[in-house]
Amino acid sequence: AALYKIDGWGAPYFSVNTSGNISVRPHGAETLPHQEIDLLKIVKKVSDPKSVGGLGLQLPLIVRLPDVLKNRLESLQSAFDYAIQSQGYEAHYQGVYPVKCNQDRFVVEDIVRFGTPFRFGLEAGSKPELLLAMSCLCKGSPDALLVCNGFKDAEYISLALFARKLSLNTVIVLEQEEEIDLVIDLSTKLSVKPVIGVRAKLRTKHSGHFGSTSGEKGKFGLTTTQILRVVGKLKQAGMLDCLQLLHFHIGSQIPSTTLLADGVGEASQIYCELTRLGARMQVVDIGGGLGIDYDGSKSAESDVSVAYSLEEYAAAVVRTVAGVCDRKSVKHPVICSESGRAIVSHHSVLIFEAMSVSVPSAPAMNTFLMQCFFDRFKDDARAAYLNLATADARGDYDTCWFYADKLKERCLEDFKEGTICIEQLAAVDGFCELVSELIGAPDPVRTYHVNLSVFTSIPDFWGIGQLFPIVPIHRLDQRPGVRGVLSDLTCDSDGKIEKFIGGESSLPLHELEGCGGSGGDGGRYLLGMFLGGAYEEALGGVHNLFGGPSVVQVLQSDGPHSFAVTRAMPGPTCADVLRVMQHEPELMFETLKHRALEYTGQNNHDNGDGINEDGHGIASTIARSFHNMPYLFSLSC
Ligand code: PLP
């Protein structure tokens, strides 16, 4: 566990159990020992060919844990409740979940259900997100907020106004100044009194990966001048009482409470000013930004960590809003946050399998054979070889390294010129590897080929270099003997993970075993990518036409096993992903079947090995491929 810093990024949800497997603690710190769930057992159960309607799910696999989602939501609420109570704050906290972080139907429905007792709402940033938020919130608390952010046209605004008619507590947040004209116009036409919010473009700037939306040059929000013009227009229309919410968002992963308090302080001043100008302000919406400690370092210096807990975050927000409002004698507002990453990151784990490993090839050449080629080398290659031999005799290993590199370099030039052949080039490579082995070069880093697409499942790694904890989910009672990098299935050199939490350029890994390995898992080597529940599924693409993973939903259960699989969905098939790019799998199959049957007419059916190679056999193999997932089938038993 220490090697992978699991206690740092995983607590209180993930730990290592006595079998050496990753264990999920579904209720966080309140989990009782018998409630812990062994991740390996879940994978074995759902990939068993006898399970899931006799199919068995294929990897990669997302394991969704609604209990963890519930715990995150309740922990966020209680952190604010505690800060409010202990600081004597005179209003409440009422959060919303930004659905863009993970729009999966069951995730959103669960959040609404779990959050109903404390009026938890949703935030939408586009028309389809608004439609899904509207329908989900029909089953939620009537007081839950429905915050409408993002670029808006007349249709978006009309939908939001209809949502108010349907008694959903909808707030239209102005992201651009022009939106106010549409809101005034459409609300008059549709006879709806809107509740309006305004997104302020704060001067407080959050630097780093996730802060590009902040500062004066940020993409979103209204400047102070624009806010004043909006106030003027609303006043003129007799609608200033509709302006009730001030929103800002200084970026995701806010690194410290100092920066947070800076932004909240600036926004609270604007809130108080809007009250002074006559708006009937009720809510300060502090946006997202509540961070996750992906590397377990609890440090503001790391791009993928934060230097505060949930409790410290909530305390800083409440203290800052109260401080500003008290100084201006303004009634304390309801505090809303749009925390997405912090709510959904922990609840899903991506599991994938290492299919094979490339170990740098064993020396293919011995010194004797090398001597045979020696005559064919050009002068400088010969010199490098002789210098290498002399340095070796002296035991001067640094010099050996130097001349081994030189020898390889010279021989490559000779190869490019055509003076040595491919066997000779391979012999030189083999010789140099032998030298490095003999002089004690560090164990080379291996490449583990994983049944995964980085572009589909970890797009933020590819897009912005974000690091996630990646750990074998079993064999953690055995010390990993080698180090490796991960290479995915796509034909793209970017589909490689060579950077890991803690700034490591390789990961400690176990040797792959044959079938029937000691872990009792059929020799499979399974890895988990943790804390990827936010953004990764929504952003993932179909590079190389790999679709999303299979998904299972797992609840803690007090039955004979500590868990119950409550939902299982195989990932998209080859036909499904082809349809995404407008292909028509049925027509494609007909064309290929026609060709296959023509082939039968032209050839003898049996290829002599007893393998039925007639057109019908070919067609049924092709048909099966359309219906299977694009990933590799496990090579082990
Ligand atoms: N609200 C707005 C307006 C956002 O742009 C975002 C994401 O960047 C969020 C909320 C969610 O932020 P986070 O995931 O950091 O909580």
**What pLDDT shows up at residue 546?**
93
Alpha helix segments (H runs only) across 351-487? 367-374, 379-394, 397-417, 422-438, 454-457, 459-464
Tell whether 176 and 228 lie within a shared domain. Answer: no
- Helices 397-417 and 422-438 pack at an angle, to 10 degrees, of 170
Cα–Cα distance, 279 to 372 (Å, whole number): 91
Asked if residue 247 lies in contact with residue 200, where contact means CB atoms within 8 angstroms, the answer is yes
Mean pLDDT of 80-104: 97
User: How far is CA 94 from its chain centroid?
Assistant: 26
Q: Give tens-digit pLDDT for 347-377.
A: 999 999 999 998 765 444 455 556 666 777 7
Place of tokens 């055995």: 478
Is residue 632 included in any domain, yes or no? no
Residue 170 CA to residue 146 CA, distance in Å, equals: 5
User: What is the whole-number distance in angstroms between the Cα of residue 249 and the centre of ligand 1?
Assistant: 7
Displacement of CA 613 from its chain's centroid (Å): 44
Torsional class of 431: left (φ above 0), alpha (ψ -120 to 50), beta (otherwise): alpha
Say if 78 falls within a structural domain. Answer: no
Top pLDDT among 397 and 165 is at 165
Where helices occur in 166-202 by DSSP H, the ranges are 179-189
| Residue 598 in domain | yes
CB distance 533 to 539 below 8 Å? no
**How confident is the model at residue 54, as a pLDDT?**
62
Average pLDDT over residues 376-383: 78
Please check whether residue 507 lies inside any domain of the structure.
yes
Domain boundary among 128, 163, 194: 194
| CATH code, 549 | 2.40.37.10
Residues 242 and 332 occupy one common structural domain: yes
Q: What's the confidence (pLDDT) of residue 213?
A: 59
The predicted structure's pLDDT at residue 518? 45
Cβ 199 under 6 angstroms from ligand 1: no
Burial class (CB in 10 A: 0-12, 13-18, 19+), 440: exposed
Give the closest residue to 439 by CA, choosing from 383, 388, 484. Answer: 388
Q: Is the shortest distance between the CB of 340 and ligand 1 below 6 Å? A: yes
Say how many residues make up the chain. 637
Residues 272 and 170 in one domain: no
Which residues lie below 8 Å from residue 238, measured CB to CB, with a gap of 6+?
none
Closest ligand 1 atom, residue 210 Cα? 8
| pLDDT value of residue 609 | 52
Q: Give, to the nearest 10 degrees, the angle between helix 422-438 and helix 379-394.
A: 20
Rounded to whole angstroms, the Cα distance separating 48 from 58 reads 9
Q: How far apart are CA 466 and CA 464, in angstroms?
A: 6
Tens-place pLDDT, residues 196-251? 999 999 988 777 666 655 666 667 899 999 999 999 999 999 999 999 999 999 99
Q: Flag the least confident range among 149-158, 296-305, 495-504.
A: 296-305
Q: What pLDDT band is residue 578 in, cutting at 50, 70 and 90? A: very high
The conformation of residue 300, written as its DSSP 8-state character, comes to S
pLDDT at position 89 is: 98
Return the amino acid letter for 486. L
pLDDT at 373: 67
**Under a CB-based contact definition with an 8 Å cutoff, are residues 286 and 335 in contact?**
yes
Confidence at residue 452, expressed as pLDDT on a 0 to 100 scale:
95
Which residue type is seen at 45? K
- Residue 436 — very low, low, confident or very high, per pLDDT cuts 50/70/90? confident
As a whole number of angstroms, the longest Cα–Cα distance in the chain is: 96
- Given a cut of 60, is residue 636 above it in pLDDT? no
Do 243 and 312 reside in the same domain of the chain?
Answer: yes
- Domain edge (last residue) among 571, 595, 618: 571
In a domain, 622, yes or no: yes
Q: For position 515, what pLDDT does the model report?
A: 47
CA 293 to CA 305: how far, in whole Å?
4
Residue 515 in any domain: the answer is: yes
Within this chain, do residues 178 and 225 fall inside the same structural domain, yes or no?
no
177 and 295 housed in the same domain: no
Residue 91 lies in a domain: no
Task: Name the burial class of residue 215, with classes exposed (0-12), middle (13-18) and buried (19+) by CB atoms within 10 angstroms of its CB.
Answer: middle
Q: Give domain status of residue 226, yes or no.
A: yes
Do 213 and 280 share a structural domain?
yes
| CB of 292 shorter than 6 A to ligand 1 | no
Average pLDDT, the chain: 90
- Mutation probe of ligand 1 site: the residue of 101, 147, 175 with most atoms within 8 A of C-beta: 101
Asked if residue 181 and residue 221 are part of one domain, the reply reads no
Q: How far apart are CA 121 and CA 145, in angstroms?
A: 5
Kindly provide the b/e burial profile for residues 190-207, where b requires at least 16 CB atoms within 10 angstroms of the residue's own CB. Answer: eebebbbbbbbbbebbbe
pLDDT > 60? residue 278: yes
Say if residue 320 is in the same domain as residue 383.
Answer: no
The answer, yes or no, to whether any atom of ligand 1 lies below 6 A from the CB of 247, is no
Q: Which residues have CB under 8 Å from 495's CB, separation 6+?
A: 453, 454, 455, 462, 487, 488, 489, 543
User: 3-class DSSP state for residue 6?
Assistant: helix
Task: Report how far ligand 1's centroid is from the alpha carbon of 424 (Å).
Answer: 58
Average pLDDT score over residue span 580-593? 94
The answer to which of 62-76, 247-261, 441-455 has the lowest mean pLDDT is 441-455
Looking at residue 214, its pLDDT comes to 64
582 in the same domain as 544: no
293 half-sphere exposure, CB direction, 13 A CA radius: 20
Choose the final residue of a domain: 194, 213, 245. Answer: 194
From the alpha carbon of 253, which atom of ligand 1 is closest? 15
Confidence of residue 516 (pLDDT cuts 50, 70, 90): very low
Q: How many domains does the chain have?
A: 5
Is 536 within 8 Å of 459 (Cβ atoms)? yes
Beta bridge partners of 551: 62, 569
- 533 and 565 within one domain: yes
Q: Is the CB of 95 under 6 A from ligand 1?
A: no
Q: Which helix (H) or strand (E) holds 335?
A: strand 334-336
CATH of the domain at 225: 3.20.20.10
Nearest C-alpha neighbor of 230 from the set 203, 204, 210, 200: 200
Lookup: tokens for 450 = 């994983």
Residue 517 has pLDDT above 80, yes or no: no
Per DSSP, 452 falls in state S
User: Ligand 1 centroid vs 286 CA: distance in angstroms?
Assistant: 10
289 lines ligand 1 (CB under 6 A): yes
98 CB less than 6 Å from ligand 1?
A: yes
For the Cβ of 338 lying below 6 angstroms from any atom of ligand 1, the answer is: yes
Domain range spanning residue 280? Answer: 198-338
Clarify whether residues 248 and 321 are in a common domain.
yes
Model confidence at 637, in pLDDT bands (50, 70, 90)?
very low
Q: Which atom of ligand 1 is nearest to the CA of 199?
A: 3
| Spacing of C-alpha 268 from chain mean position | 32
Q: Give the C-alpha separation, 117 to 22, whole Å.
A: 32
Q: Give residue 47 CA to ligand 1 midpoint distance, Å.
A: 35
DSSP state of 571: P
Percent of the residues in the chain that have a pLDDT greater than 70, as a whole number: 91
The tens digit of pLDDT for each residue in 94-125 reads 999 999 999 999 999 999 999 999 999 999 99
The residues annotated as belonging to the active site are 491
Return the amino acid letter for 99. V
- Ligand 1 centre to CA of 178 (Å) is 23
Closest CA to 159 of 199, 119, 132: 132
Distance 419 CA to ligand 1 centre (A): 60
